[in-house]
Amino acid sequence: MRARARWSTALPSTRPRARRTARTARAVVDDDASRVETLARWCADRGTYARALRVDLNQGSGRGLELSRDVRAGERVLGASLTSGIVDEARGHPERTRAAMAEAPWGVRLACRVLQERKKGAASAYAAYVATLPERVESSPALYDARAIEEVQYPPAMTEIREMRRATREWHEKLQKTAPEALGDAVFDYDAFVDAVSVVHSRTYGIASANDNAGLFRALLPLADMINHGGDIVTGLTKDEETGAVTNVETTATDNIAWSELDDDGVVHFAATRDIAEGEAALMSYGERSNDHFLIYYGFAPDNNPHDDCVLFSNLEHALAWHSVAHPELWDGPDAEIRERAAKAAYERVTKSLEAEGSVDAKLAAAEPRLKTLSFGRVDARLLSAFAAIFAGTETSGDAAGPVCGDELRFARADVAARCEQLLAQMPTTFAEDLSALRAGECVDDAQRTRFIYRACKKKILVDALEMFRIA
C-alpha cells in the first residue's frame, strides 16, 4: 500500500489585496489550502509520491513547492504518475471530436481537455486537479489586447504574439463548427477558451521516452506543475584587458530539482540536483531559453537571463541588404559581387565551425538563420565574420574559428553598434525610462510589469553591444 504524501499548507505571510477584507482573504487562502490537501490525497491514491516537499501558497506570485526537510543531491523528492495527469492523447477526447483534435496544435488539444473536464464538474475523474487549476494566467500574452502587444515594443515578439492570438481565434471558430463538443462549456465563449490556452501553455510538461526525444508527448502533471522556474543567472564577467570585450560570462544555476527519469510504470521522477536545506523553494529549470519563450508560453520574463538575446537581422540576406544601404560606397561598383561572395563564404566557414564544435548551443546557433546579440556585447560570430569580410573585400578573408582581426573586425563591430542604435531608436521608450518606471512601481499590474521587464531586458542587450562596439 502506497503511503500518502503529506503536504504543509501554511498561510501566506504577505498582506491580502486591498479590495478584500482580512476575513475574506483568510477564507480564500483556507479554501485554496483545502483544495491542495484534497489534490495531494487524490494524487497519492494514483501513484504519485512526494518526499520532503510541502506546498507554499504564496511563492512569488502564486503557489510553489518548498523543502520540508534537508535532502541530499540525487535524492528523489517527487514522482508524478501519468495516471493522475491530463495527457495529450486522442482517447481523452469525445470520439466524435478526435478527427478535429488530431489536426489541432497541442495547446488547443490540452485546453479542450481542461474545458471538457471542467464541464463534467464533480463527475470528472480529474475533479480534484481541475479544482486547483487557475481560470487563466493573467500575464499570458494569449490574453493581450492591442495596447498590451504594443507595450512589448520588440517587433519579433509582437509578431509572434499576434500570430498566436490569430491562430487561437481561428481554432475556436473552427471547433465551433466541426467539433463543438470538444470545447466543453466554451462553445460560445472565446474568452474561456483562450483562458484555458493560457493555463496549459504555462504548466505543460513535454515528456520523451528517450534522449533523442523519441515518443515525445505532453501532459499536465498535478503537483509537479507547482515547481517554479530556477534558471541560470550571471554572476561574473571576464574582459579582455586591452579591448574591454567580454571574453567569458560566468553563470550560476539556481535550480535544485530536475526531472530524472520516466519509469516503465509511467511515473516521472524528480530528484535534487544538489543538497537542499529545509525551507528552500523547489526550483526547476524550464530550459536555457531566451525571454521570448518565457514570456510567450509562461507569462514571465527573468530579469537576469544569460540566454536572452535580441534579433539584429532575420537572416544573412537581411544583414547584407542593410549593410549595402549603410555603406553604398562599398557596394556600388564592380567590387560589390566580390564583397557579397566574401561575406557568404565567411558566414559558411563560421557556421561549419560551430557545427563541428559539437555543443548543443553551437548546433542551435548554426541552425538558427536569425542573427542575434546576447547580453554584454556577445554577438553572433557569423555576423561579425560576414561584416568583416565585406570590408576586407576578399573571399579568403576570415578565419575558420571566427572573424578576421584588425580594422575589418573593428569596422564590423561598429556596424553592429549602428544597428543596435537603430533598433533602440525605433522603440517608443528608452532603457532608462523603463528602469525608472519599474523602480517607481508605475505598472498597473503584474502583466504590465512583466512586459516592462521583458522589453527592458531587450534594450539592455542592445545597449551593451552599442557601448561595447561603438567607435569614438
* Region 45-55 average pLDDT: 92
Domain range for 152: 86-206
pLDDT at 335 over 90: no
Q: Is the same domain home to 372 and 465?
A: yes
Q: Is the same domain home to 172 and 239?
A: no
Q: Is the same domain home to 363 and 436?
A: yes
Domain end marker among 158, 173, 206: 206
Q: How confident is the model at residue 249, as a pLDDT? A: 85
Question: Number of folded domains in the chain?
Answer: 3
Q: Is the same domain home to 249 and 345?
A: no
Confidence of residue 14 (pLDDT cuts 50, 70, 90): very low
Buried b (16+ CB within 10 A) or exposed e, 345-380: bbbebbbebbeeeeeeeeeebbeeebbbbbbbbbbb
Write down how long the chain is. 472
Q: Is the same domain home to 382 and 434?
A: yes
pLDDT at 18 over 60: no
Q: Does residue 2 form part of some domain?
A: no
Domain end marker among 298, 317, 333: 298
Q: Does residue 190 form part of some domain?
A: yes
pLDDT at 123 over 60: yes
pLDDT at 106 over 70: yes
Q: At 284, which CATH number?
A: 3.90.1410.10
- Contact yes or no for 66/227 (Cβ under 8 A): no
Give the H/E segment covering residue 177.
helix 155-178
Q: How confident is the model at residue 407, as a pLDDT? A: 85
Handedness of CA 39, 221, 252, 371 (dihedral sign): negative
Domain end marker among 171, 206, 241: 206
Q: How confident is the model at residue 260, as a pLDDT? A: 81
Cβ count near 438 (within 10 Å) = 15
Of residues 290, 260, 266, 270, the one with CA closest to residue 228:
270
Q: Does residue 5 form part of some domain?
A: no
- Determine the residue type at 385: S
Q: Is the same domain home to 174 and 144?
A: yes
Q: Is the same domain home to 173 and 292?
A: no
Q: Is the same domain home to 413 and 336?
A: yes
Q: Is the same domain home to 67 and 116?
A: no
Q: Long-range contact list for 13-21, CB < 8 A, 24+ apart?
A: 13/58, 14/58
Q: Is the same domain home to 178 and 131?
A: yes
Q: Is the same domain home to 109 and 165?
A: yes
Confidence of residue 3 (pLDDT cuts 50, 70, 90): very low
322: helix, strand or coil: helix
Q: Is the same domain home to 69 and 93?
A: no
> Higher-confidence residue: 338 or 405?
338
111-115, 130-134, 163-167, 330-334: segment of lowest average pLDDT: 330-334
- Contact yes or no for 151/454 (Cβ under 8 A): no
pLDDT at 238 over 90: no
Average pLDDT taken over every residue of the chain: 88
Work out the percent of the chain whose per-residue pLDDT is above 90.
72
Q: How confident is the model at residue 403, as a pLDDT? A: 43
Q: How confident is the model at residue 398, as a pLDDT? A: 41
Q: At 401, which CATH number?
A: 3.90.1420
* Region 172-181 average pLDDT: 97
